[in-house]
Each structure stands twice: as C-alpha cells, then as structure tokens.
Amino acid sequence: MGKLEEDNKAVVGRWFTEFWGEKVDLAVVDALAAPDMLLRYSLHEPRRGRDDIKAFMTDFRAAFPDLHFRGTAELIAEGDYVVGQWEGGGTHSGPAFSDFLAGALPAASGRTMHFTGMTVLRLQDGRIAEEIGLDDGVTALTQLGLLKAA
C-alpha cells in the first residue's frame, strides 16, 4: 500500500473516531472535511458543506446523546477512496427528531437503534470530499417504530 492510501486511511480513522465516535468534536469537520463535502446516507437527506454537516451532527446527537459508531473491520484504501464497515446506534432521549426520511420521533421516545453499514469516502488533497454510506436503515427504523415489522 502506498503513502496516499496510508494517509487517507489515517484521515478516515480520525474522522470515524472524532465525528462518529462516542464523543463528537465538531472541530474535526473544519480540519478534515472539504468545504463542500457531501454526506449521504439512506436514512437522511443528503447534507453538503461543513456548516450543514455540523448542524446535522449537532441535531442527531441532541436527539441521541449516546449516539456512537465503531468500525468492525480494517479500513480498505485504494487511491482516493477508503471503505469502512461499522456498527452503532443510540437511544432517543433528547428532543423530537424529524431528520429521518421515513418519519419523526416525539421528544424522548426512549427508543433504541443499533444497526450496521458500509461507507465509501472519497478524499481529495487530504480532505474528505464525499462520505456515501449504505446503512441498514430498515433495521434502525423498525427499532425506532417508524417502520412496521412484516
């Protein structure tokens, strides 16, 4: 593996720890995200740009104060791309949350979600330009009561 891939894996590892980990540090957005970064997961509307991504995480963590995700496999890197597998979730104990595409939760519903996913990140000049994830949203939304089990 070349230096580019090692450097990109280090950036993504820090992003996963400081943005998606147990404790968020929003300063990591300015440090690692490209100014017009795209963040897209199936559970939410796509978000673009540092301020929008910070607002997304601020609201998500207000609603789910214990929100956290962790890697479940070694990162894979090829050129400008890094792929990660993860699991995580949290309990909705905060304010009402309406950022899910499939519905909204009333304040402090007490519902817990735990789900898995995979993410492909594209880096450009050492910054994250895109984070495109495929999550098991059906599991999360069913756990939260927003989808009915068959």
Domains defined for the chain, CATH in brackets: 3-143 (3.10.450.50)
Three-class DSSP category at 59 = helix
Q: 149 falls in which pLDDT band (50, 70, 90)?
A: confident
Please state, in angstroms and rounded to a whole number, the distance separating the CA atoms of residues 38 and 47. 6
Please state, in angstroms and rounded to a whole number, the distance separating the CA atoms of residues 61 and 55. 10
Please state, in angstroms and rounded to a whole number, the distance separating the CA atoms of residues 64 and 116. 17
The pLDDT tens digits of the residues spanning 29-70 come to 999 999 999 999 999 999 999 999 999 999 999 999 999 999
Task: Map tokens 């950022």 to a residue.
Answer: 99
pTM for this model (two decimals): 0.95
Please state, in angstroms and rounded to a whole number, the distance separating the CA atoms of residues 33 and 24. 14
